[in-house]
Amino acid sequence: MTETLHPKLQPQFDAVVARNPGESEFHQAVHELMVSLAPIAGKRPDYAQWSILKRMCEPERQLIFRVPWVTDTGEVQINRGYRVEFNSTLGPFKGGLRFHPTVNLSIIKFLGFEQVYKNALTGMPIGGGKGGSDFDPKGRSEQEVMRFCQSFMTELHRHIGEHTDVPAGDIGVGGRELGYLFGQFKRITNRYESGVLTGKGLTWGGSQVRTEATGYGTVFFAQEMLASRGESFDGRRVVVSGSGNVAIYAVEKVQELGGTVVAVSDSGGYVVDEAGIDLSLLKEVKERQRERLSAYADARGGAVRHVTDGAVWDVPCDVALPCATQNELQAEHARTLVAHGTGLVAEGANMPCTAEAVTILREAGVLYAPGKASNAGGVATSALEMQQNASRDSWSFEETQERLRQIMVDIHRQCLETAEEYGDPGNYVMGANLAGYIRVADAMVALGVV
């Protein structure tokens, strides 16, 4: 945590650390928000009077539960499930579920905390939350994944509902898992309540463009950033980390806009394909076969390099889109990007850049967008899915994509206007944090101490 806090905010941050020991990712997310609050620190007596910041740092509800299930060979497994319902001031708790062995309370709290301000930025009526489990779907059979999802939902169903809490996907939770989760919810409750989950399949209540939304939205946001400097994706060399849901559709949209994605990664390394990533092969390997990127390299023969040491950020590029996981782009990687002349970093993942990396990028004049703003297209389209479910309607791909694009343009504009208003033009971090924070804080003042 490189930037210092305003003296009025430091004691509040110290209190969060003392109250939530060992939760380093959560501390990091709170610190990043508090840095941006300096221009309003001490200037909003109503926020102080109602202890807004203190209440924002305490989730409304935190659920931790046992998830027992049985493997194909008859062994009983115990995982831990989480749902942190962070803030419902603007609407029902809304945020994804992550299934990954690294999941713990700190990670779910950082994600839930960020989600509150991200959701506020979209302008949609949604609060913030996040959940998941330390379950690792890798190497598990279809039946094992289904049994796990059913057991997870057997507990979670008590706490969710279209007016209460609406989960979606995240790392390790895609269309397959959401299907099993929705099926179990429907069975237990005897209700076809489409609005209880988003990211559903198109034949059972899903929305067009939801699968593509986070990746497309990140690229729409980056397109606006480039346009603010009179530039575009046309002819740009782009590196995307990850090769999951967000990364794949970021690659797709960059290529549609004339850029060339030369490298993507996964947890086993990265591939460099100078001709441009072959999108249909990437989808085949990662979406359908659920294979490693080494299979992509094997299929492309000698035309590509598969690298298992170093980082994907070693590949020179004009635009970098981190779309894998938190803290994957560190100080040394930021220095490499700066040395290679990268002009723009927009986060598709949540908090993929460390605080130190962000400082290095910003000091070097690299345009940098925090995920809270640039990856908000996923949750925004989830809110569009909820709208369609509520009106029992479904919109075309083109109409939904245009709504998503417009939302991203609007978030970009809000970030720049807010940064300008509070005296730091071009600071997307400050703009995103302050715009989201003020929207939630004003509503919390209006609703009283609840």
Residue numbers 335-354 binding ligand NDP by CB under 6 A:
348-350
If binding is defined by CB under 6 A, does position 266 make contact with ligand NDP? yes
CB of 206 vs ligand NDP, minimal distance in Å: 13
Task: Respond yes or no: is residue 43 known to be catalytic.
Answer: no
Residue numbers 6-35 binding ligand NDP by CB under 6 A:
none
Strand arrangement, sheet containing 165-168: 61-70, 76-87, 128-133, 93-99, 165-168
Catalytic residue among 130, 200, 253, 286: 130
Window of 6-14, 72-80, 178-186, 259-267 that interacts with ligand NDP by CB under 6 A: 259-267
Rg (CA), the chain: 21
Q: Quick one: 247 or 319, whose CB is closer to ligand NDP? A: 247
Window of 34-42, 59-67, 320-328, 395-403 that interacts with ligand NDP by CB under 6 A: 320-328
Residue numbers 149-188 binding ligand NDP by CB under 6 A:
169-172, 174
Q: Quick one: 38 or 248, whose CB is closer to ligand NDP? A: 248
Q: Quick one: 38 or 407, whose CB is closer to ligand NDP? A: 407
Window of 156-164, 175-183, 261-269, 398-406 that interacts with ligand NDP by CB under 6 A: 261-269
If binding is defined by CB under 6 A, does position 207 make contact with ligand NDP? no
List 324, 345, 346, 407, residue binding ligand NDP (CB under 6 A): 324
Residue numbers 98-157 binding ligand NDP by CB under 6 A:
none
Give me the residue whose beta carbon is nearest to ligand NDP: 244
- Report how far residue 101's alpha carbon sits from residue 285's, in angstroms, rounded to the nearest whole number: 22
The β-bridge partners of 133 are 81, 99
If binding is defined by CB under 6 A, does position 320 make contact with ligand NDP? no
162 burial class (0-12, 13-18, 19+ CB within 10 angstroms)? middle
- Report how far residue 185's alpha carbon sits from residue 188's, in angstroms, rounded to the nearest whole number: 5
CB of 197 vs ligand NDP, minimal distance in Å: 13
Q: Quick one: 53 or 324, whose CB is closer to ligand NDP? A: 324
Q: Quick one: 171 or 369, whose CB is closer to ligand NDP? A: 171
Among left, alpha and beta (phi > 0; psi -120 to 50; other), residue 277 is: beta
If binding is defined by CB under 6 A, does position 267 make contact with ligand NDP? yes
If binding is defined by CB under 6 A, does position 59 make contact with ligand NDP? no
- Report how far residue 28's alpha carbon sits from residue 30's, in angstroms, rounded to the nearest whole number: 6
Q: Quick one: 195 or 378, whose CB is closer to ligand NDP? A: 378
- Report how far residue 400's alpha carbon sits from residue 209's, in angstroms, rounded to the nearest whole number: 7
Q: Give catalytic residues, as residue numbers.
A: 130
Query: Binding residues for ligand NDP, per CB under 6 A?
Result: 169-172, 174, 214, 242-247, 265-268, 323-325, 328, 348-350, 375, 378
